[in-house]
A and B are shown apart, each in its own frame.
Chain A
């Protein structure tokens, strides 16, 4: 049966960016407000799932030519690398550091290495969720 999904596809084109922006906000708000890497990653994969619902697996693979297993591996590398980086400064494993820095356009900003660890969590959550969904969707 031939069907026309024009309403769903148009809504997806508008809503997708709102959802991704919200997930990025959740990711960066994690230090001071509710949020963090886990829920941010889940929301990003929710946006990709909406794209998968409106289009199909082949089109989305063309839009996002990413192997999500590699995304999960890179996320684990980020988390382990943040932990191992503290060993270079002769402090225990997973010791975090922070400092106030003057960044152009943003002004005085407090930077923390826990964000890099959170980025690892974010990438692992996206990779694992999308791998599960794509694997189930491709099987007959």
Chain B
């Protein structure tokens, strides 16, 4: 019964990832795509968590934190590129 509920939530997350992929492909502007990719990362985190419950292991818990950090850094880099045109500035004009 518990496994059945977990599988149903996996299917739900997969459907939400499919909706986000639609937004990544169709999205009229670049910020739409960036936000959709960030949300795909969050969905992947919950997917890894549920799969590690299904497999009855705690070997993937580092992956959860890792995806969170990487998706944050990636989104920040993309937003900075969209706002300023450069990702790494040489010197800020204060």
Contact = CB atoms under 8 A, between A and B. Distances in A.
A128 interface: no
Contacts of A58: 90-91
Top-3 shortest CB links A-B: A137-B88, A56-B89, A56-B92
A57 B59 contact: no
A22 interface: yes
A57 B89 contact: yes
Interface residues of B, number: 21
B83 A56 contact: no
A8 B84 CA distance: 14
Interface string B57-94: 00110100110011011001100100110011111110
Interface string A17-47: 0010010001000000111000100010010
Contact of A53 (B65, B88, B93): B88
